[in-house]
Structure 1
């Protein structure tokens, strides 16, 4: 188990944990929650050994294997499958040992390594790695693409797959859902629910936490408090605890006031002095209940728009996409939609289908490729970019951003633009004191997101375009955003994988996919089911395409497969029929066709039967070898059995590919 006893943790001069204690048991799934800056990532650093406690005792079993997602962006030309496969550090180490043993001719070492490789799951390691990659949203035809060919978000998915590939007793996940869309998110939830080890996850997605955790660890006021249950249970328990604490504090204050009143009244009277003194001592001995020091919740609101054009937008036969080397690349085509005042639209679709392209084009940061997009008179767009730095200047500070925004809008905007007014305004978004002079490039993701929100609110928009606004927001700020959007009088178009936000804000959905934008008739649960079915369909299509492209060249070992040309289908065109055929002639021609078809398929069926017999034989041989390896053997025998097992596995793979091809040929011929 993991034990923290009176642990103190500091970052610089700031105390993040102050003499706090907690115990985590093996196999528990723990959600680590708390405000941004409370110390969650610092506690992770203690768990993974990059930081040591400043006081107290921290203990975790030394034999535990740890896995966590690397935060650096991978830069390599390795195929994606190989990159993820290397996440299995045990397997990588054994394969290096095998290469060294084979190079030195050390039979004893080879024997040991072959046994260890079998125990480590070498035989199915690549399929396991590919299953992780596909589960996180990649296509089958991308499995062998170089890592560097993917965008940053997709490379971080590969880092997540690599961490899941690593055999571990404890898994640390820091915001694993930030780069996932809903189908990958649901798949990850299912995978983590099956994970057998201890898991500690930092996340600001309440539905994700509810799905994968059974313990909640809360950091608040430099203390750790353990709650049994997922995030929703934690909220209920914490509210009850706060209510009890406040009631106890109020009750004690009444008692203190009563004692103090007696002391004040009778301390000067000789006859009552002794009684008064005993009450003074009672007050001194009393263990004080602390007042409830709940932090002020962050709240904000959108100002009433100056006007509400209706419709806000009219899109007619439009094409959305981007331009590469002066060549337009359309992602969405034939889009005709209207956006009305007061609508709350959730934009759904898998990553890469064009959601951000649609929003960026409406926000005027990308050109429309074709068709028309007509804006309502007085349209004022507030745009939250998926990457906050798309609209922020890293070298400038929040005050400089607001001054520049005030100058761009001019005095006619109706908003105060004096520096002190802008400072006061930033203070309402928790940018107080020296923070207004801190450069944006040194800020956390949550602070950047709050600054973008502050700039949007100040502009008094009537149309909000929000592209993944919650990626770096803590739970309290997400709740504040949800409340503000519900009170906003204008129109909202929202792209988000935060299901709680989508449920709270949106009352209709658009589906972006397969080159189109269409209304989605259903709720988020329906969409979640659709995404899983669609993902499965696409993977099956890709697998079938890959099978059709499999080479039928003869394998180099153990079995020889002859290449059989694909038979031409027998049609009426290849067997001319005169218009006036008697029934006898018709039966005769039908019999000839059946004979011709049988002659064409006979060699295929014969090869398929031989193939199945050999596959069954290989399965029996592999089973016998695996049973043999479980008995005491000499090093030479173990090494020999390991080589035979590998050869049989390779042969089985070749036969299986040919079996799939033969089956398809027979289906097409029938």
Structure 2
């Protein structure tokens, strides 16, 4: 039975986000919603809760339906409450005491350690805050669960635990997930909605298989469009010939026939619909200035330490060579980011670098981290490009627009931009630096699926040398040609990341 039904549903703001959407959500559904940044995923979730009204169509919910909605941001009012209190406060006042036991049941199911439960939200990492919001909604016993980017800020261990938790939920409770994490969608969904301005296809398949099916549908639509246009052109050419003959011969019959052919051509042209073309959120382009050096970075048993000097691991003797795309894999806290920072400091400040890190002089760094720390929140996109790179204002504006930073936000404080806009600004800055070696810490954070795939394409096309850390399994599989595993205070090279992924999944289960 459908719990929520949408008929000819649509939302238009400055332009249509989606329209003509027919969708039912019922027991057993695990629906993934896929769209580019800013294209209506969060809006649709708010429509399902009733928070936002549609501009077209109808929505029907079963009487008394309880919809649980886990949003992306933590409300400021919750930041000074403890993890446990945030969840407990979601219970209805009349049941707060009698059902307080439910809080611990939910926290246990999400494997939240006891000490973590008493910490204030403000002191928690983004990943733990995310789990607190999920627990806060689930403790209310919703009939439908809506999740908006649930893997944001989660490490692989927590992502795996969340996958296990979602897959163990009662099947009568449908789950709707808006996410850019391709592997997560594959692991947790059985239906996929591709949200589009005109028609939004729905497939009874998880993401990757649905994406392949969508490509076939789009290709078929494009073939039909080209075929119809070709037939229409043939009809018009035929009509033109008959018209010439009719004019010369004075034949009324040929004149009528000409009109009929033109009418058929017009009907075909009006009915012909080109295949969907995804409107780009901004191009991601990289560069690679190249180098004659074969070895870019040498590590001679370099010690990777915490800020207070505690040894995390030693690298052993390692080399990063031209064309290497090395992915660091390991659980949170093992030192992936510390190794990236160690190498970065050796490139940027060679006079203070450890003797165990050798950098080829021709190495030019392109660096991006998960906090987007290379771009100041108080600056503006236009100011950064104009000041940091040798481009004039007009060129800077053009580059920003091409990267998805539209003219209306180019002079806005970067701190006010969306995560996707900041990420694309960072990618543009990397391109203009024209490096020959990339250090990337969680580069797919804030990028939508199109952006992730564009980044993959650019790194591969430019044969860029890079060392990166990521929690995005699809990205890791697509990019890496070498893999360094950090565990048990050691760094070792492995053939692929699959054993590590499996061990994380087993631990999460």
What is the TM-score normalised by the length of structure 2? Answer: 0.86
Listed as ranges, the gaps of 5+ residues in structure 1 are 99-116, 408-416, 537-670
- Structure 1's 535 and 219: CA in aligned 2 closer, same or farther, altered over 3 A? closer
Corresponding position of 2:219: 243
User: 1:357 is matched with which residue?
Assistant: 338
Q: Which residue among 493, 498, 501 is the counterpart of 1:528?
A: 501
* Change over 3 Å in CA distance of 1:278–1:203 after alignment to 2: same
Indicate if the aligned counterparts of 2:329 and 2:497 stay in contact, CA closer than 8 A: no
Residue in structure 2 matched with residue 507 of structure 1 by the alignment: 481
Deviations 1:158-214 (A, max 9, x none): 223333444221111111112111122122112212222111111111111111111
Q: Tell me the CA shift for residue 253 of structure 1.
A: 1.8
Tell me the alpha carbon deviations over residues 437-484 of structure 1, each in whole angstroms, 9 at most, x when there is no partner.
Answer: 444233221111111111111112122111111111111111111111
Q: Which residue of 1 aligns with 2:144?
A: 170
Determine whether 1:277 maps to 2:279. no
214-223 vs 490-499, greater mean Cα deviation: 214-223
Counting helix residues as a fraction of each chain, which structure ranks higher?
A: 1
Structure 2 counterparts to residues 158-197 of structure 1, below 5 A: 158-195=132-169, 196=171, 197=173
8 Å CA contact retained: 2:204, 2:210: yes
* CA-CA distance at 1:371 after TM superposition: 6.5
Is contact 2:126–2:154 with CA below 8 Å preserved after alignment? no
**Structure 2 CA distance, aligned partners of 1:377 and 1:308?**
11
Matches of 1:143 and 1:534, distance apart in 2: 21
- 3-state secondary structure, aligned to 1:493: strand
Change (3 A) 1:529 1:280: closer
Give the Cα–Cα distance (whole angstroms) in 2 for the partners of residues 284 and 312 of structure 1: 62
Partners of 1:491 and 1:283 in 2: how far apart?
Answer: 54
Secondary structure of 1:9's counterpart equals: strand
Relative distance call for 1:266 and 1:489 in structure 2 (3 A) is closer
Instruction: Note closer, same or farther for the CA distance 1:373–1:51 as it changes in structure 2 (3 Å cut).
Output: same
Q: Tell me, yes or no, if structure 1 residue 478 matches structure 2 residue 452.
A: yes
Deviation string for 1:486-535 (max 9, x for gaps)? Answer: 23334211111111111111122222344x34114353220023335667
Q: CA deviation at 1:285?
A: 4.9
Corresponding residue for residue 547 of structure 1: none
Secondary structure of the corresponding residue to residue 272 of structure 1? helix
Q: How far has the Cα of 1:333 moved from its partner? A: 4.4
Matches of 2:408 and 2:338, distance apart in 1: 37
Contact kept, 8 Å, 1:69 with 1:174, in 2: the verdict is yes
Note if contact 1:320-1:369 (Cα within 8 Å) is conserved in structure 2.
no
User: What's the CA shift string for 1:84-113, capped at 9, x where partnerless?
Assistant: 4555x26x64234x5xxxxxxxxxxxxxxx
Question: What is aligned with 1:201?
Answer: 177
Compute the displacement of 1:63 (Å).
1.9
Alpha-carbon distance in 2 for matches of 1:333, 1:203 = 34
Q: Distance in 1 between matches of 2:119 and 2:393?
A: 52
2:108 is equivalent to residue 130 of structure 1: yes
C-alpha distance in 2, partners of 1:505/1:224? 30
Which of 263, 269, 273 is 2:239 aligned to? Answer: 263
Does residue 1:61 correspond to 2:62, yes or no? yes
Q: In structure 2, how many angstroms separate the alpha carbons of the residues matched to 1:72 and 1:140? A: 21
Match of 1:397 in 2: 380
- Residue 232 (structure 1) aligns with: 208
Answer yes or no: is 1:289 the counterpart of 2:272: yes
Q: Distance in 2 between matches of 1:308 and 1:158?
A: 51
Decide whether the 8 Å contact of 2:305 with 2:338 is kept in 1.
Answer: yes
- Partners of 1:394 and 1:318 lie apart in 2 by 33
| Structure 2 CA distance for partners of 1:362 and 1:535, relative to 1, 3 Å | farther
Contact 1:318 1:373 survives alignment (8 Å): yes
* SS state at 1:220 partner: coil
8 A contact 1:318–1:369 mirrored in 2 = no
Contact 1:85 1:126 in 2 (8 A): no
Q: Structure 1 residues 439 and 77 mapped into 2: Cα distance closer, same or farther (>3 Å)?
A: closer
In structure 2, stretches of 5+ residues that fail to align are: none
Q: 5 Å matches for 1:339-418?
A: 339-341=319-321, 342-364=323-345, 372-388=356-372, 390-406=373-389, 417-418=391-392
Cα pair distance change 1:156/1:337, threshold 3 Å: farther
Q: Secondary structure at the match of 2:32?
A: strand
Q: Distance in 2 between matches of 1:141 and 1:243?
A: 54
Contact 1:22 1:224 in 2 (8 A): no
| Deviations 1:53-98, CA, capped at 9 Å, x for gaps | 22321222242222222421541353x34544555x26x64234x5
What SS does the corresponding residue of 1:224 show, helix, strand or coil? coil
| Maintained 8 Å contact 2:233/2:265 | no
Matching residue of 1:330? 310
Cα distance in structure 2, aligned partners of 1:433 and 1:144? 45
Distance 1:271 1:52, change over 3 A: closer
How many angstroms apart in 2 are the aligned matches of 1:216 and 1:222?
17
CA–CA separation in structure 2 for the residues paired with 1:464 and 1:266: 65
1: distance between equivalents of 2:167 and 2:272? 40
Q: Which structure has the bigger radius of gyration?
A: 1
For 2:418, the equivalent position in structure 1 comes to 444
Contact 1:133/1:158 (<8 A) preserved: no
Change (3 A) 1:280 1:152: closer
Change in Cα spacing, 1:171 to 1:369, as seen in structure 2 (3 Å) is farther
Deviates more, 1:350-359 or 1:201-210: 350-359
- How far apart in 1 are the matches of 2:67 and 2:15? 28
| Matching residue of 1:211 | 187
Whether 2:463 is the aligned partner of 1:462: answer no
The CA distance in 2 between the partners of 1:439 and 1:7, in whole Å, is: 35
Structure 2: distance between partners of 1:149 and 1:278: 74
1:519 maps to 492
> TM-score, normalised on structure 1?
0.67
CA offset digits 1:350-399 (Å, max 9, x no partner):
222322222223222999897743322122211111112x1112233322
CA 330–256 in structure 1, closer or farther in 2 if over 3 Å, else same: same
